[in-house]
Amino acid sequence: MSVSNRINAKFAQLAKQKRAGLVTFITAGDPNLDVFEQILAKLPEAGSDIIELGMPFSDPMADGPAIQLANQRALKNGMTLKKTLAAVAKFRKQDQNTPIILMGYYNPIFHMGVQNFVEQAREVGVDGLIIVDLPVEEDDELCHPARTQDLDWVRLVTPTTDAKRLSKILKNSSGFLYYVSIAGITGTASAKGSNVKKAIEDIRKQSSLPIAVGFGIKTKEQVQQTAQYADAVVVGSAIVNKIEQAKADNKTAEQTCEAVISFVRELSSGLS
């Protein structure tokens, strides 16, 4: 199946099922490569419709404490961008349908070499990219090379985005849009539903791309609420926190994996 089709097919399937999708975020290599790969393998059956994988970075400037710690755990245990790509390749052997979006910061990619990265990403079965520190002003860096390889370029739309800026943002966006429901970093406050709903309606006037909503969504109830107006709901820090909690409680690898997977199961049960 060609790359961008996995995302399109997923949203088409969700539309047919008349439900919103669940996007789960975890950091690649968190808490270590082994446990991470076990978690990754089980995410689809637990109800994750789209998998967002954080590429660990030493300086995750747009992330709150939970995901910062996840980055540190992964890096401390030797995670690298190459290993992240290898983990995707391994996952694709078992799962041909669940879209994978890599999310992160530009420097490790720039350091690897943009062309090298986009070719490998496509080859291992990555479907799209969310690069936090590449706004439209820097589209020549990675957005254009990625689109050339049929990797989707998923952009963030935020509460600070006005109508004029939105049209710029939409220009090279593909796959879906990610509406960040609060002006802030990951894992902090939750947004007011009414504001988000209004913002989504405004975006829909200008774009037919599916819209995922994330930031500050922590519970099954919040997932259900958000699903009323979003095409997909993103949960990140709350999932990552389960790993931190398991570590604090000295849980085994199996228990850590189970803690994450049962939480994802609970979140997705609100969407059927």
220/269 Cα distance (integer angstroms): 8
Choose, by CB under 8 A, the member of 95, 123, 141, 258 that binds another protein.
141
Choose among 128, 119, 152: nearest CA to 55.
128
Q: Which region among 28-36, 136-144, 220-228, 238-246 touches another protein (by CB under 8 A)?
A: 136-144
Query: How many residues bind to another protein according to rule CB under 8 A?
Result: 48
C-beta of 141 vs 266, nearer to another protein? 141
Within 185-244, the residues that bind another protein by CB under 8 A are: 185, 188
Coil vs helix vs strand at 22: strand
Token readout for 13 is 């399937």
Q: Is 45 a catalytic residue?
A: no
Which residues contact residue 152 at a Cβ distance below 8 angstroms, ignoring those fewer than 6 apart? Answer: 3, 4, 7, 101, 127, 128, 129, 146, 174, 175, 176
Choose, by CB under 8 A, the member of 77, 80, 207, 269 that binds another protein.
80
Alpha-carbon dihedral sign for residues 75, 81, 87, 88? positive
Token readout for 81 is 């961008």
Within 101-130, the residues that bind another protein by CB under 8 A are: 105-112
Please state the closest distance from residue 254 (CB atom) to another protein, in A: 29
DSSP-assigned beta bridge partners for residue 103 = 54, 130
Q: Is 63 a catalytic residue?
A: yes
Q: Look at strands 152-153 and 156-157 and give their pairing.
A: unpaired
DSSP-assigned beta bridge partners for residue 24 = 51, 235
CB 234 within 8 A of CB 267: no
Q: Which region among 1-9, 73-81, 219-227, 261-269 touches another protein (by CB under 8 A)?
A: 73-81
The yes or no reply on residue 163 touching another protein (CB under 8 A) is no
Please state the closest distance from residue 264 (CB atom) to another protein, in A: 26
The yes or no reply on residue 32 touching another protein (CB under 8 A) is no
Choose, by CB under 8 A, the member of 11, 25, 36, 57 that binds another protein.
57
C-beta of 49 vs 139, nearer to another protein? 139
Catalytic residues: 52, 63
Residues at the site binding another protein, with contacts judged by CB under 8 A: 56-62, 64-65, 68, 72, 75, 80-82, 105-112, 132-138, 140-141, 155-162, 165, 169, 180, 182-185, 188
